[in-house]
Structure 1
Amino acid sequence: MYSWPLIGEIKLYTGSRSSLPKDWVFCHGQALSREEYQGLFSVIGVSFGVGNGETTFNVPDFHDRFPLGLDPRRNETAGIRHRGAASQTLSIDNLPIHAHDQGTFVINNVGNHVHRIEDPGHNHGGATGDAPYSGGGYSMRPSGGGGNDNGRHAHVIHMGMTGIRIAESGNHTHNITGQSGRVGSNQPFSTIPPSETIDFIMFAGQ
């Protein structure tokens, strides 16, 4: 057992600044003289700040912070480092997998354009013309008569394709604007558990 605090020892303190015990200092991150507080400087060095880099050094700063035990496996041999934040805003990577409603999307016009109709012309082929009747005959008999002209014939006009086509107007694109249904308001949330604020003080030695 020891009857005197160890240099660098930290305690909770509920008193006022004016009633702070002798040889104790507040843990507010303030700079102290390396010469005046040689004992404390020899214990904590510049683990919590180098001060002005020459004649001062810093003590721990427990403003709005909780103490956290040091994990040597994290190679933090220089002392406790500041971590965390009083509030946090989630990013997409922190959110669970979810879906949005369809929202509203609009396909924008790409501007007026025309299509060209190409008609190369065509020819059905064939022709019509005069053709003589073939030889026929007729007969007369006491009981009657008849005739046969043998002149039946036909003219043919061949069918053909028109070759009309609608020409392309060239490649083009349409822009889609809009967004899916919006969810959330991007407001930060507190990461501080229920607590009671109190001061930390450190023994600086005689």
Structure 2
Amino acid sequence: MPGSAARFVWPNVFSVDATGLPRAGAQLSFYQTGTTTPQATYADAGLTIPNPNPVIADSSGQFGNIFLLGAPDYAVVLADANGNQVWTMDPVGASAGVAGAVPVGAVCDFAGAAAPPGWLLCYGQAISRATYAALFAAIGTIFGAGDGVTSFALPDLRGRASFGVDNMGGSAANQVTMAGSGVNGVQLGAPGGSQMAAAHSHAVADPGHSHAITDPGHDHKPNHGSGFVVPQGSGGEISAIFAGGGDVEETATAQTTPSGTGVTIGSGTTGISISTAGSGNSQNMPPAMMLNKIIYTGVGG
């Protein structure tokens, strides 16, 4: 057997169909590159346990361990359980830079309940710096120092989505900023965000207003006749004429004062009120589906 073994890996470590369901019974066939000549793969790095060709996916859409010959390169064809082709890759192999191409520290979604060989779930746990030396070299203590001596922490991605660091490449895009989101978008590993949007109040200023009324007052003109007069309001002059006998006439004069109506207009307010945005926090969650997050360790897989 020429060359050394290389693990076959592609970005999706399991196969799902267009509806997101595991592609149980899928067929992964291996040929010499550029041909339809079958080429063997193995279930162990020592190349002592041959795989069937095609390799058949289990009920979770997983194919198990697949190790490749160092040379020649392969052509790989994925088909569904009925033999319908899904995709092809050619060439695949160590010289083509495809086999074993998942870097240590890569994180991806995983639909299974348990992490496959070589991967760990990302829930912030501390793991050994010695056992996972390559992963420790890749991520260091960015996500936690563990005990500070023999362990380090993995990312805690429980209930979290991930975003690209805002200043990748050396310049900030200002899409995720501390001022806008409360998340330090330029710090690798920075957590933040909330599933709830806090209730808040809207303040409205109502200064009120006044209505001006002009009341110039008015006079009352008396009507007079023999004997006495009947006053007609206030303001002006009133004369009283009395019959004194014969042709003697007695006159009394009085001055009335002008009088206003006493009308007043009070100031007024509009009565406007603005309620809060709710009695409590509101949901801030887009449509989602919960999947496990796994990280590639390069150990045991």
Question: What TM bracket, shorter-length normalisation?
Answer: 0.5 to 0.7
Deviation of the 1:182 alpha carbon: 7.3
| Secondary structure of residue in 2 paired with 1:16 | coil
Paired residues in the alignment total: 124
Given candidates 167, 188, 191, the residue that maps to 1:79 is 188
Partner of 1:187: 280
Given candidates 106, 109, 115, the residue that maps to 1:9 is 106
| Secondary structure of residue in 2 paired with 1:202 | strand
Give TM-score scaled by structure 2 length. 0.37
Partner of 2:153: 58
Give TM-score scaled by structure 1 length. 0.52
- Matches of 1:99 and 1:89, distance apart in 2: 23
* Structure 1: tracts of 5 or more residues without a match: 103-179
| Secondary structure of residue in 1 paired with 2:134 | helix
- Matches of 2:187 and 2:150, distance apart in 1: 19
Partner of 2:162: 67
| Secondary structure of residue in 2 paired with 1:43 | helix
Q: Which has the higher contact order (CA 8 A, sep 6+)?
A: 1
Change (3 A) 1:91 1:55: farther
| Secondary structure of residue in 2 paired with 1:81 | coil
Change (3 A) 1:76 1:189: closer
Deviation of the 1:52 alpha carbon: 1.8
The AA in structure 2 aligned to 1:61 is D
Q: What is the CA deviation profile of residues 178-206 of structure 1, one whole-angstrom value per residue up to 9, with x for unaligned ones?
A: xx967234410111101011111010113
Change (3 A) 1:46 1:77: farther
Conservation of the 8 A alpha-carbon contact between 1:47 and 1:78: no
Deviation of the 1:99 alpha carbon: 5.9
* Structure 2: tracts of 5 or more residues without a match: 1-96, 178-183, 209-271
Q: What is the CA deviation profile of residues 150-173 of structure 1, one whole-angstrom value per residue up to 9, with x for unaligned ones?
A: xxxxxxxxxxxxxxxxxxxxxxxx
Conservation of the 8 A alpha-carbon contact between 1:89 and 1:186: no
Structure with larger Rg: 1
- Matches of 1:44 and 1:69, distance apart in 2: 16
Given candidates 120, 130, 149, the residue that maps to 1:35 is 130
Q: Runs (4+) of structure 1 moved beyond 6 Å?
A: 74-77
Q: Percent identity?
A: 27
Q: What is the CA deviation profile of residues 95-154 of structure 1, one whole-angstrom value per residue up to 9, with x for unaligned ones?
A: 5x6468x9xxxxxxxxxxxxxxxxxxxxxxxxxxxxxxxxxxxxxxxxxxxxxxxxxxxx
- Matches of 1:77 and 1:91, distance apart in 2: 29
Deviation of the 1:82 alpha carbon: 0.4
Given candidates 46, 70, 79, the residue that maps to 2:141 is 46
- Matches of 2:130 and 2:99, distance apart in 1: 26
Conservation of the 8 A alpha-carbon contact between 1:40 and 1:205: yes
- Superposition pairs for residues 81-120 of structure 1, below 5 Å? 81-92=190-201, 95=202, 98=204
